[in-house]
Structure 1
Amino acid sequence: MVERLARNIAALPDGVIAAAERAIVLEDLAEGLRRENDAWTGQFVRPAAMELIREGLARGAQTSAGERDLGGLLRKVAG
């Protein structure tokens, strides 16, 4: 389980981990949520993210089955 999580984190596109780290503001959770939202939406303009989203949607990421195993589906797309 831990090894799989580590592999999943290591496979994230450039910038995702840094964006998540910038979003954490323990003193002000509302500010942290705003930063998280800004960081998340900023990822959509990255070519790797756009390709992942397109391929994920083409493979059914928006369906109930796709949403239940979104991580697995996206790992197949990215792999």
Structure 2
Amino acid sequence: MTRLLARKIWEETKKTWHIAGPATLTGVFQSSIPFVTAAFVGHLGKVELAAVSIAQNVIEGFAYGTMDASLKPIKKMEGGGGA
């Protein structure tokens, strides 16, 4: 009984990682894009690196602002309010 349960748990774990593994790697790689970009552009010069850094911050700020603004109505519907 214990071996059967352990085997079923192992099979489910493999199935879960089959789905979650690529999703996890995608998240890691997407998070590393700004660092890789800065490393490449850093070889061009200080002004270019500063320009890319500013552009990345503006894009991230716009993206997070859009996500936050779109979630506020949902938070209100659930009674969470939202600041």
Report TM bin, short chain.
0.3 to 0.5
- Greater share of residues in helix: 2
TM-score, normalising length from structure 2?
0.33
Q: Which has the higher contact order (CA 8 A, sep 6+)?
A: 1
Considering only CA atoms, is the larger Rg found in Structure 1 or Structure 2? 2
